[in-house]
Amino acid sequence: MTAKEKPKPGEVTARTAARVAAVQALYQLDLAGTDLNDVIAEFLDDRLSGENRDETIAGADRIFFADVLRAVLRRQREIDPMIDEQLAIGWRLVRVDSILRAILRGGVAELLDRPDVPARVAINEYVNVAHFFFDEDEPRVVNGVLDKIARKVRCSEFVGRRVAPS
């Protein structure tokens, strides 16, 4: 997939769809201040199934979706400073686009809370999620921020795997 191509619904795995849905739900939580359980219920009952179903996220892994949301909210006081540290000088997470902020929070939550998902897989997945929403530099920002954080919180997965410069 190139930076200009957006994944099509039929090409999306259940977990990728869950991550996209989680980003949408995090965006809603961030802007509207809605209760977590209400947002989870809305997505499970309406957006992932039912009459108002969104085909992009319809096949989402419902448990994984809720797990990512809960992890972000449970660990947000830890997650946000980690992201802040990786942003360019003069930028803070509160200045970042709301969708990009949701993607970064979801990715970091997964790196911290889901050791069953390899760090490189989590990074790649959230870069792909960024392609659902952005066509410009944002997927590269997601890659850079999540890679730096992963190397700190999952350093054992990166030991001995450096590629020699050519």
User: Would you give the DSSP letter of residue 93?
Assistant: G
Write down the domain spans for the chain: 12-154
Measured at the CA of 30, the angle between CA 29 and CA 31, to 5 degrees, comes to: 95
Q: Which pTM was predicted? A: 0.86
First CA to last CA distance, the chain: 25
Tens digit of pLDDT per residue, the chain (166 long)? Answer: 444 455 554 578 999 999 999 999 999 998 888 889 999 998 888 888 766 677 778 889 999 999 999 999 999 999 999 999 988 766 776 678 899 999 999 999 999 999 999 999 999 999 999 999 998 889 999 999 999 999 999 999 988 655 555 4
CATH number of 12-154: 1.10.940.10
Closest C-alpha to 79, from 162, 12, 124, 146: 146
**CA gap 97, 117 in Å, rounded:** 26
Q: How far apart are CA 65 and CA 16, in angstroms?
A: 9
Eight-state DSSP code of residue 165: P
